[in-house]
């Protein structure tokens, strides 16, 4: 049911570029179409909305925002659909990479492995052992009563939301993790945005 239900207006239902179905109403005063209903209320939940290796979030007043996680940069500075690309190379040497925690984040799907009842250390070691593993998600599932480990081989369908229960641990060179000391900023369509995440000391971190 649209926000202006019952009012006689010209309307159109459109499948938009981001995959969301929206109902538009014609506003005569402003001579423009305005959204009066949309199928998915939180557009950052739409898979692939911001491109590969990127994260999508919702900012009140300005809508959907896309940004690159640490260690990645925009592939095309004019279009987020191209997503992000790595700035660094990851060695298969287990002693080289570390992990950077991104709270309330997820890259949905593309898991090389889903392991039940794993400890944090077991999950971390699983990702270290897989050269193609780019990150892992580790969280306690209250419905099943144990922790689940998701090792990610591709970073697609990324989103960030305060109501998301889970953390992503991004695999990066340890030198890159130590350099993440800039204040958090809001993100917009530019190539210089950075965000602060909490570095994980992989030697001390426990479940």
pTM for the whole thing?
A: 0.68
Domain at 50-200: CATH architecture: 3-Layer(bba) Sandwich (3.50)
Tens of pLDDT, residue by residue, the chain (207 residues) = 888 888 878 999 998 776 788 899 998 888 899 888 888 776 656 666 788 999 988 766 556 788 899 889 999 988 888 899 998 877 676 667 889 999 888 898 878 888 898 999 999 999 998 888 999 999 887 787 888 999 999 998 888 888 777 789 999 988 777 666 443 333 333 334 344 334 333 333 433
**CB of 30 closer than 8 Å to CB of 44:** no
Strands 32-38 and 63-67: unpaired
Distance CA 182, CA 147 (A): 32
The domain segmentation of the chain, as residue ranges, is: 1-41, 50-200
Give the number of other Cβ atoms within 10 Å of residue 88's Cβ.
13
Quick one: tokens of 36?
């009066």
């Amino acid at each position: 049911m649209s926000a202006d239900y019952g009012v006689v207006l010209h309307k159109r239902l459109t499948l938009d570029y981001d995959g969301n179905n929206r109902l538009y109403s014609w506003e005569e005063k402003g001579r423009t179409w305005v959204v009066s209903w949309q199928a998915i209320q939180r557009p950052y939940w739409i898979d692939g909305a911001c491109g590969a290796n990127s994260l999508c979030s919702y900012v009140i007043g300005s809508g959907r925002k896309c940004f690159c996680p640490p260690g990645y940069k925009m592939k095309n500075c004019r279009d987020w659909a191209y997503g992000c690309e790595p700035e660094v190379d990851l060695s298969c040497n287990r002693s080289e990479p570390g992990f950077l925690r991104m709270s309330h984040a997820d890259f949905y799907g593309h898991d090389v492995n889903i392991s039940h009842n794993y400890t944090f250390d077991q999950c971390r070691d699983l990702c270290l052992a897989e050269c193609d593993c780019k990150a892992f998600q580790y969280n306690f599932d209250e419905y099943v009563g144990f922790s689940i480990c998701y090792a990610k081989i591709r970073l697609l369908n990324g989103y960030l939301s305060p109501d998301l229960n889970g953390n992503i641990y991004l695999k990066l060179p340890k030198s890159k993790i130590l350099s993440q000391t800039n204040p958090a900023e809001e993100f917009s369509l530019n190539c210089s945005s950075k965000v602060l995440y909490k570095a994980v000391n992989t030697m001390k971190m426990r479940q």
